[in-house]
Amino acid sequence: MKAPAFHYERPSSRAEAFALLAQHGDEARVLAGGQSLMPILNMRLASPAVLVDINAIDNLAGISVAGDVLTVGAMTRHYQVAESAEIARHLPLIAEAMRHVAHAAIRNRGTFGGNLAMADPASEMPACCIALDAVMVIESAKGPRKLAAEQFFRGIFETALEPDELLVAVEFPIGQPGWRHGFMEFARRQGDYAIVGSAARFLVKQRRVADCRLVFFGVGDRPIRVQAAERTLCGPPPFAEAAATASAALAAELPEFADSLATAEMRHHLARVLFGRIITPFTADLD
């Protein structure tokens, strides 16, 4: 379990990093917190020729609020997100979900952006980003571009990032009153990847769901936003009836995804249970 030999680069600026990524393309892997990449290398599941370590680049980490946007730098460590007062105030969904992300030692080193760029389909943060309508800020030698989180995750360990691009930050819209969130996951042990999890938020107006996002993770090759269920929940009252309809139709919107953790049938069953438990706290306030 020793990593195969690789060439190691530690750029000190974004420009330098972009140049390296442009030069090495597919042959390079970006090293952020290393909490997934290092085991992958040690198990020889990947053997990149070059590791581009972005830990020495300034201004990639940090949480900031400007107007209606909260920005999380890609190199912000999980523990910083978990402890951030800004996150707790503006993005309570993330604050809650962060408690389920791995263990303290991993959160100390693992990064927000690295986790998203790894795109593990059972990971919490990708689902949260979609549920929160986050925007991924991507940069390369060619310049910056922005992409909605929903467009970013493409499959198991697969994102919209080109080989020469770096995820530099994530922007979250904030300051819209009335949104409430729900988060829950079923994992065998605390800190494990979830068998099934869900990140959701609801805009409650006049005892009705005016808008919502309902995203499941661990159920497919990427986070799955169940838009039919969202539409049903926003439909005419009574809410209890809409919820029952959405629950019954939920499995049809989820892929058939099986692995050593669970069969597809088990996942669909748990997703239904999860759905019920996520919406339960809201039902008393809804007609």
Residues that bind another protein (CB under 8 A): 1-5, 43-44, 186, 188-193, 195, 260, 262-263, 265-266, 269-270, 273
Q: How far apart are CA 83 and CA 227, in angstroms?
A: 32
Token reading at 33: 């917190």
- Give min distance, CB of 14 to another protein, in A: 32
- Give min distance, CB of 50 to another protein, in A: 17
Phi, psi (degrees; rounded to nearest 5) at 120: -70, 125
- Give min distance, CB of 186 to another protein, in A: 6
> 28 or 122, CB closer to another protein?
122
If one counts every other C-beta atom within 10 angstroms of the C-beta of residue 150, the result is 18
Q: How far apart are CA 48 and CA 58, in angstroms?
A: 25
> 87 or 270, CB closer to another protein?
270
> 52 or 251, CB closer to another protein?
251
- Give min distance, CB of 147 to another protein, in A: 30
Q: How far apart are CA 266 and CA 58, in angstroms?
A: 45
Q: Output Rg (C-alpha) for the chain, integer angstroms.
A: 19
Q: How far apart are CA 196 and CA 276, in angstroms?
A: 13
Calculate the CA 55 to chain-centre distance. 21
- Give min distance, CB of 251 to another protein, in A: 12
> 1 or 66, CB closer to another protein?
1
Q: Which residues contact 248 (CB under 8 A, 6 or more apart)?
A: none
- Give min distance, CB of 17 to another protein, in A: 26
Give all strands of the β-sheet with 208-217 in edge-to-edge order: 179-186, 196-205, 208-217, 224-225
| Residues 36/101, Cβ–Cβ less than 8 Å | no
> 69 or 273, CB closer to another protein?
273
> 181 or 268, CB closer to another protein?
268
